[in-house]
Structure 1
Amino acid sequence: MGQQVRVEPDTDGVRIIACTGEFEYGALGPLKAAGEAAAADPSVSRIVLDVRRVTFADSSMLAQILLMLRAGRLVLAGPLPPQLDRRLSLTGVRDMFTVVDGVAAVRAR
């Protein structure tokens, strides 16, 4: 199926990175670039990773999400796909993330 990473224009310091499709080692370049750019931008107060349309995420995507979490401003917009939710839970990191129901919920915060 492939994957797509779309960065939406910032609104009130919120940068939304929307992910669609399958994310595995070798296909993380666009996600990594978007996450690094958001973390390096001082005008971005919140990074929202919209994962609602992720159909597969391997351990390398999990590692990338954890790197983005280190910026201290990451919110996951869900609902989390079952496979990703299971991977986060099995690795014991699920509770480290703020997860909200959809992008609109983040903007309302």
Structure 2
Amino acid sequence: MERRNLYNAGASPCRPHPAPQAEAVYLPGTGHVAMVRLSGESDAASIHVFREVLAATAEDRLIVDLTGVTFADSSLLHALLDAHRGLILAGPLPRQLHHLLEATGTTTRFTTAPDLDTACETLPRVG
């Protein structure tokens, strides 16, 4: 697995909650599929972290691991909808994010998997 930590917002005395982190991992044998792992709090002040990682991954299909997200608001939902290019959301999704998708009626806009292994199994294998 090729791993690139594309952005770590780092801690800040002005930002008391956990700094968001995002990284892209390229999965071998999947034909250029990337997994983007997001953790920490994702809100309007920090969504640029996730958007920068998505912009740096040009793959047509992405697995997005959101299990480490501790808070998410509509800015994360908007980023997911904007980036919808064969996204598979790997769970289990944090309860608050699951409720956000249900409340906005966007649950069916994404392919979801109960865990990362299942998300990887849904991809066609190459090579």
4+ residue runs of structure 1 moved beyond 6 angstroms? none
Q: Percent same amino acid among aligned pairs?
A: 29
Q: Relative contact order (C-alpha < 8 Å, sep 6+): which is higher?
A: 1
Q: Report the counterpart of residue 5 of structure 2 in structure 1.
A: none
| Aligned length, in residue pairs | 103
Q: 1:16 aligns with which of 35, 49, 64?
A: 35
Are the structure 2 counterparts of residues 31 and 21 from structure 1 closer, same or farther at C-alpha, using a change threshold of 3 Å? same
The residue type equivalent to 2:52 in the other structure is A
* Structure 2: gaps spanning 5 or more residues: 1-17, 123-127
More helix by share: 1
Q: Report the counterpart of residue 83 of structure 1 in structure 2.
A: 96
Taking the aligned partners of 2:90 and 2:83, their CA distance within structure 1 comes to: 14
CA RMSD of aligned residues (A): 1.3
What is the CA distance between 1:45 and its match in structure 2? 4.0
- TM-score normalised by the chain length of structure 2: 0.75
The residue type equivalent to 1:30 in the other structure is V
Q: Report the counterpart of residue 32 of structure 1 in structure 2.
A: 51
2:25–2:35: 8 Å Cα contact kept in structure 1?
yes
What is the CA distance between 1:57 and its match in structure 2? 0.4
Taking the aligned partners of 2:56 and 2:88, their CA distance within structure 1 comes to: 16
1:14–1:107: 8 Å Cα contact kept in structure 2?
no
- TM-score normalised by the chain length of structure 1: 0.86
